């Protein structure tokens, strides 16, 4: 069965304390892995798409990596404005189906 699992569920960091979020997946024919950021009461906001193992992408303090079984979202020297829920999703084969993990809620304290 296709599945996406994110860990940890919640993460509290001090400002400047780097860490990583994990997204483990099992899917038939991975078409792409997506990372989104979601603020309370708002729609998910796109961060990255990764298509093949070994691929890496960066944006400001965030870096996403992909292996054949999991993806990591590395946060370097986070700031309070990085506090949000981070969602991982995988696209299944040549279909329009997208499977989301339950998210990691990040809180960065000043």
Q: Which residues bind another protein (CB under 8 A)?
A: 31-32, 34, 36, 41-46, 49, 51, 87, 89, 91, 95-103
Q: Is 103 left (phi over 0), alpha (psi -120 to 50) or beta?
A: left
The nearer residue to another protein, 25 or 36, going by C-beta atoms, is: 36
Q: How far is the CB of 60 from another protein (least distance, A)?
A: 18
Whose Cβ is closer to another protein: residue 1's or residue 110's?
Answer: 1
Alpha carbons 37 and 88: distance in angstroms, whole number: 9
Q: Which is nearer to another protein, 54 or 96 (CB)?
A: 96
Q: Specify which residues 50 forms β-bridges with.
A: 33
Helix (H, G, I), strand (E, B) or coil at 81: helix
């Amino acid at each position: 069965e296709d599945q996406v699992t994110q860990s940890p569920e919640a993460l509290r960091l001090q400002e400047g304390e780097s860490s990583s979020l994990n997204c483990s997946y099992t899917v038939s024919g991975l078409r792409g892995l997506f990372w989104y950021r979601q603020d309370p009461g708002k729609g998910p906001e796109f961060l990255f798409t990764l298509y093949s193992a070994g691929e890496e992408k960066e944006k400001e303090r965030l870096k996403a990596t992909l292996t054949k079984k999991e993806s990591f979202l590395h946060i370097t020297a986070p700031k309070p404005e990085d506090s949000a829920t981070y969602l991982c999703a995988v696209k299944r084969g040549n279909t329009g189906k997208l499977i989301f993990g339950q998210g990691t809620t990040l809180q960065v304290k000043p």
